[in-house]
Amino acid sequence: MKTGENLTNWEVKLIGKRIILQDLKIDDITTDYVDWMNDQSVVKFTESRFQKHTFESTCSYVFQLHKSQDNILFGIFDINNRLHLGNIKIGPIDTYHSIADIGLIVGRKSYWGRGIATETIKLISDYAFEVLKIHKLTASCYENNEGSKKAFLKAGYQQEGIRKKHCRNGVKWVDKYDFGLINPMCDGI
């Protein structure tokens, strides 16, 4: 990976047991997707909960990430019926330190609690390590986001820290949990 290289110029498809991850495109945006982003039970642990999402704003978000130099956005699709289940993003990618954040959302509530997030995190981590040669991936979540905590731990991430009373969640302050995973194939620089 070269500094400044556009990371989304190629079509990427990652195939798991139950899901496919692939570059999210404008054509993948549906009213269902926009509806998840406006469903407070879906976005309650994200910063997206503070805005009203429209088809146009969602298209703009996907377009901006698609042309980004340091972010990659994948859609999560059911392998059997190609139903769009959610998204996962790598980025921003810091090419000097070879680190990146990941964040995900599973918007289809009927798929919650079925291990989709864990499988997604494993697939994207393998891709980041093997293809992008990222040294370390990081993620964080609110303390009361049990689903995300379990998914990252099941995917092999280690809890690296707790930022005390770091985020406001409704009417109370909550801790933010930090997770990390180091590329087992990176021995040196």
Phi first, then psi: give them for residue 134, nearest 5 degrees.
Answer: -70, 140
Give the integer Cα–Cα distance in Å for 133 and 127.
Answer: 8
Lowest mean pLDDT among 73-87, 115-129, 163-177: 163-177
- pLDDT-based confidence at 179, cuts 50/70/90? very high
At the topology level, CATH places domain 13-182 in Aminopeptidase (3.40.630)
Domain chopping of the chain, boundaries: 13-182
Structure-model confidence comparison of residues 167 and 129, the more confident one: 129
The CA-to-CA distance between both ends of the chain, in Å, stands at 13
Across residues 25-46, what is the average pLDDT? Answer: 85
Instruction: Return the minimum-mean-pLDDT range out of 3-17, 39-53, 139-153, 155-169.
Output: 3-17
Q: Is the pLDDT of residue 89 over 50?
A: yes
Name the band, by pLDDT with cuts 50, 70 and 90, for residue 49: low
Residue-level pLDDT at 15:
93
Region 36-65 average pLDDT:
81
Instruction: Using pLDDT thresholds of 50, 70 and 90, give the confidence band for residue 78.
Output: very high
pLDDT greater than 50 at residue 1: no
Instruction: Give counts: helices (H), strands (E), the chain.
Output: 5, 8
Instruction: Print the SS3 string covering 30-81.
Output: CHHHHHHHCCHHHHCCCHHHHCCCCHHHHHHHHHHHHCCCCCEEEEEEECCC
At residue 99's C-alpha, the angle toward residues 98 and 103, to 5°, is 145
What is the rounded CA–CA span in Å between residue 45 and residue 4? Answer: 31
pLDDT of 12 reads 78
Look at residue 187 in the predicted model and tell me its pLDDT.
Answer: 62
